[in-house]
Every structure is written in structure tokens, then in C-alpha cells.
Amino acid sequence: MKVERKIQVAATPTEAFAKLSDVKVLASLLTGLMDWTATDEPNRFRTVFRAGPAPLGGEIQLEFWPEAGTVTWQSTKGVHQMGRWLVRPRDDGSEVVFRIFYHLDGGIASRLAEWVFARTVHRFMGIALTRLARSIEAQPPRRRRPVTA
Amino acid sequence: MTDSARRRGHDAIRDAAWQGATASGVTSVPFGTPPLSSIASGAASDRRRQDAESRTAPVRKSRATMPKVVRTPARNGHHQTTRSELARIAASPEFEKLIGEDWDWRENPSAAARFGERILDLIATGTFEGRDPDLIRENLPLNWLLATLYFRAKVDGIENIPSQGPALVVGNHSGGNYIPDSFILGMAFATYFGSERPWYALTHSAAMALPLLGPILKSFGSIPATPQNADEALRRGACVLVYPGGDIETYRPWRERNKVKFAGRMGFIRTALKNRVPLVPVANVGSHETGIFLSDGQWLCKMLGLDKRFRIKAEPIQVGLPWGIWFTDFLPRVLLPAKIEIRVLEPMDFPRTGPEAAADDEYVRECYEKVTGALQDAVTDMASKRRWPIIG
């Protein structure tokens, strides 16, 4: 299953990539992330996501490609997944593309689960891109409307 | 003879039978695979071995009931199993150990009941190699779908299970034979730690002995619920799930659905202490609302003799679809879509561990009270946050 979302940001590709290449910023973008711990291997992290009823554990290997404006990851444990952050130049700034490919072992039930799960993943990716855009454009986070009596 | 003493004796008999039979040249024991504890350690545990050795030699009440030895000459020089050979095996001490010293139920009616129980145990005996991590991984999405869409399940605190090494996970058993909480907890464990990490669930021999269900359960990591199997699984570094309440707890009536009911079974404490492993309590609510049990039917099991013949001490009287009101939970039924919540508590530390601590009855009782108290507190807390039964 492939899920893709994109967003326009008012910053140069270099500025946008600088944000993405910071691992702490990258972790802060992801919704449902319960654990993000560096392992002994360089750029390898133990991750735990809240996915439906139970936490989803795994390990990912990050790779940075500054020339291509790309940050990718691939799972080394847990659910088979690949992800990509891609920064492209645009006339009025940059475009950040966020893609996730994932695969669940099994038959028809697994395809159905992928499809059901895709809706949540799609929503979480949208939130991550909005957070990234705010972070790059240095906008304050949206505040809740104060509760009136 | 008390029930526990009888069971200890039985386990010793099973182990001794296998070892004895193989040592005496009987190449195949008529009840399938050898017991797990024999495969693993090559011998029964010290305590059980001492029990077996300390037993006085059985005195058969009457030789007249033994089959007559009839010598049949071998034909064409080939060895053949004759009645005389069967009689020799039957007369051997190994066979006597296998089926018990009081095997002749014509003279000893209680032996008939015990024989049924022993046969059930021997059929249910499996191996640890039966667990299939690939099958578990491929079925995770299906479990995930059911847990998410049907039961609206939520598992909290799974990270409290130690990330490495063995652990004894102890929960309150709910939901009759269908035990959705067990499957959801197993799924949560596999999604968090990966399906490769060994996870065994101690399962009732009656379920393990069923022709179709037994092999499936074995593939998902079920092993017959005996202390020896728990010891062996922990020795292998696995996490072991045990529901001490067993059938008595899982069939408890609807009004007791938020009550932890271990029925005074403290074997799990002894197992944790003896093996010096952390004990992780797991509380769940909602799973018992997938069926409506009117009574646990203990009185009926006693009346029908199921407790003695098949170690089935409870079987529920329930109301639901499609049967209306009926007895037993071995028939297929519609599970109600109750919201299931599972909370893994922090591992419990006990000041003293080891075989000596496990043999101290008073200390074991203290630990038991501590564990059941923590579980009951968590269950009460979770139940208090539910507004409606089933809906959650």
C-alpha cells in the first residue's frame, strides 16, 4: 500500500531540508509516536507507534540524501515499510512530499487491514506535513478557542 | 488422595513412563509424543522425581485380572507383536506407571475417572516447536481488524513487559472458551516485540486435545497448562501467559464480570518464584461482556462427573445467540461486540525468590494476595470508567 501527501511551504529547499535532516524535528512531526530511541547502529532507531488497539513496535534505518533533498527510511524490524520525505523547488518556495509504502504479511484480511489502516496513515501524514510547514515558516501553533462560560 | 497430590503423581507417572518405556526398549509409547518436560530436561523436575521415587511399590489387588500370557511362536522368523508380548508390556512396571498403579478400574472405580484425565493429558501433549512465528505474523492483520473494528480494543502498558528474557504474564481470564482478551494480548505482544520473540500461553488440556482446534492453538504458541511446561518455557527464555483462574474464572457469572477470581490457585506464584522471573499482571475488562453467563455450572460438572473425568470443573449456563439459553461453551455462539480494554501493569518484585521461597506456603500466599490485590484494583479502576456494559 502506498500513501502520499504533499504540502507547499514558503521556504527554500535548503531551509526545508535543514529541518528534515534534524532527527529530533523529524520525530516531533509524527503523530502516534510513543517511542523513538537511538540504537547502537548509526541512524537506526527503535520506534513504537500507536496503531489502533495496540502499539506497533519496530526499528527503522534513516538515510539522508542532501543532494536529492531526500530523507528516506526503511524498516529493519516490525511491519515492512519504506518512507520518503522529498523536497522539491517551486516558484514560490518548496514542495514537501511525504510518501509511505507498507506491506502486511498475509492474505485477504491483510489487504483489508492495509486499506483500513491507510485512512489513519493518510490523516497522520497530513498532520505531520502541517506541523512541518508551521515549523519551517515559524508560525505559532494553533491555539484552542477559550472555553466561554 | 488430594487432587493436587493426585495430579503431581500423574505428572510423575507420565514422565517416568516415557523414560521407562524408552529405556526398556519400547520404541513407541501408544500415546504419541513424549511429555515436554522429558524432551526438554531429559528428566522430570527434582521435586516430581523425588515424588515418583518415594512412592511405595504398588500392590496389585488381584493377578486374576491381568491378561493371560499365551506364547505364540513367531512365523517366518519375523518378530511379531503377540498377545504374550502385550501381556509382558502390560505386566511391566513402566506400563503400570504409565496408566497408574490402580489401573484396573473393574476393581477400583476411581481409576476410570483418572484414566480419562490421563489420556486427555497425553493427547494434549505438544512440543514447543509447534509455535509458528510466520503463521502468527500473517494472522496479525486479521486479529488487528477484529480487535479494532469489532471489539474496539485498547491495550495499554505493553512496554511494561521486560524487553528481554523470560517473564510470567498473569491475567484474569474472561470471555468463556472464546477468550478474545488472550488473542488481543497475544497480538499486542507480537506487534510490539515481533512474532519471533517466544510467547507461550498455558492452555487447558481439553482445548488442546480437540482434533482441529488443538493443532491451531499449538501453532499460535499454546502449550498444555502444567507447571512443568511453564518451567520449561521460562527456562527457554520465553514469556508465558497464564490465567490461574482457568475455567472457573472464565465462566464466572455476569454479575462477577469485574471480579478477579483465581479460586485460590497459587501455582503461578510458585512458578515465578522458583524460576526467579518477573511476574507481570495483566488486567482486562470488557472481554467477559462478549457473552452472558448466568452460572459457571460447577455444580452441574460435579453432578455429571466432568471434573473427575476431564478436569473440567466449570461449564457455563449462558444466554445468547443462536441457542437461547444453553449449557456449555463448546458450541459456536455469537460474541457480543463489547469494548475490550487491557492494561499491562508494572512487573511485581518479590523480596525472596528461589525454590525455598516457592516452598514456603505462607510466603506464597502473601505474594498471591499481593498479585490478586493489584489486579483487582486495576480491574475496578478500569470498570469504573465504563459507562455502559458492552458499549464501554
Q: Output the pLDDT for position B312.
A: 78
Contact at 8 Å (CB) between B270 and B227? yes
Cα(A59)–Cα(A54) distance, integer angstroms: 17
- Closest CB to B154: pick one of A53, A78, A106: A53
Q: Output the pLDDT for position A50.
A: 85
Cβ–Cβ of B134/A51 closer than 8 Å? Answer: no
- Residue B37 pLDDT class (50, 70, 90 cuts): very low
Q: Output the pLDDT for position B42.
A: 41
Taking the CA atoms of B85, B90, B93 and B95 in sequence, report the sign of the dihedral they define. Answer: positive
Does residue B238 carry a pLDDT above 60?
yes
Contact at 8 Å (CB) between B168 and B234? yes
**pTM (2 d.p.):** 0.73
Biggest CA–CA distance in chain B, Å, is 80
- Closest CB to A55: pick one of B137, B147, B158: B158
Q: Output the pLDDT for position B61.
A: 47
Q: Write the pLDDT tens digit of every residue in B72-103.
A: 554 444 444 455 655 665 666 655 555 554 44
Does residue A85 carry a pLDDT above 50?
yes
Cβ–Cβ of A113/B145 closer than 8 Å? Answer: yes
Residue type for position B179: I
Q: Output the pLDDT for position B207.
A: 81
Contact at 8 Å (CB) between B31 and B205? no
Cβ–Cβ of B188/A57 closer than 8 Å? Answer: no
Whether the predicted interface score ipTM is above 0.90 = no
Cβ–Cβ of B145/A112 closer than 8 Å? Answer: yes
Whether B187 has its CB under 8 Å from any CB of chain A: the answer is yes
Whether B197 has its CB under 8 Å from any CB of chain A: the answer is no
**Averaged confidence pLDDT in chain B:** 77
Report the residue of A81, A110, A115, A117 to disrupt the B interface, i.e. the one with the largest count of B CBs within 10 Å.
A110
Report the residue of B136, B144, B181, B196 to disrupt the A interface, i.e. the one with the largest count of A CBs within 10 Å.
B144
Q: Write the pLDDT tens digit of every residue in B248-263.
A: 888 899 999 999 999 8
Q: What is the DSSP letter of A141?
A: P
Does residue B31 carry a pLDDT above 50?
no
Cα(A70)–Cα(A147) distance, integer angstroms: 42
Q: Output the pLDDT for position A64.
A: 93
Cα(B262)–Cα(B244) distance, integer angstroms: 6
Cβ–Cβ of A53/B188 closer than 8 Å? Answer: yes
Nearest chain A residue (CA) to B154: A53
Per the model's pLDDT, the better-predicted residue between B35 and B216 turns out to be: B216
Q: Output the pLDDT for position A100.
A: 94
Q: Output the pLDDT for position B89.
A: 59
Q: Write the pLDDT tens digit of every residue in B58-75.
A: 444 444 454 554 445 544
Closest CA–CA distance from residue B169 to any residue of chain A (Å)? 17
Q: Output the pLDDT for position B316.
A: 87
- The β-bridge partners of B154 are B341
Q: Output the pLDDT for position B25.
A: 46
Please tell me which of B217-221, B222-226, B272-276 the model is most confident about, judged by mean pLDDT.
B272-276
Cα(B60)–Cα(B66) distance, integer angstroms: 10
- Residue B21 pLDDT class (50, 70, 90 cuts): very low
Is residue B360 exposed (0-12), middle (13-18) or buried (19+ Cβ within 10 Å)? middle
Mean pLDDT of A103-122: 90
Nearest chain B residue (CA) to A57: B192
Cα(B67)–Cα(B215) distance, integer angstroms: 36
- Bridge-based pairing of strands B167-171 and B222-224 is unpaired
Q: Write the pLDDT tens digit of every residue in A20-49.
A: 999 999 999 988 888 899 999 999 999 998
Whether A37 has its CB under 8 Å from any CB of chain B: the answer is no
- Closest CB to B193: pick one of A57, A107, A112: A57
Biggest CA–CA distance in chain A, Å, is 54
Backbone phi and psi for residue B50, each to the nearest 5 degrees, phi listed first: -60, -40
Cβ–Cβ of B188/A114 closer than 8 Å? Answer: no
Select from B228, B188, B159, B308 the least CA-distant residue to B11. Answer: B228
Does residue B360 carry a pLDDT above 70?
yes
Nearest chain A residue (CA) to B195: A78
Q: Write the pLDDT tens digit of every residue in B266-303.
A: 999 999 999 999 999 999 999 899 989 998 888 888 88
Whether A42 has its CB under 8 Å from any CB of chain B: the answer is no
Locus of grid cell 510513543: A34
Select from A54, A55, A57 the least CA-distant residue to A45. Answer: A57
Q: Output the pLDDT for position A143.
A: 55
Cα(B118)–Cα(B226) distance, integer angstroms: 13
* DSSP reduced 3-state for B176: helix
Whether A89 has its CB under 8 Å from any CB of chain B: the answer is no
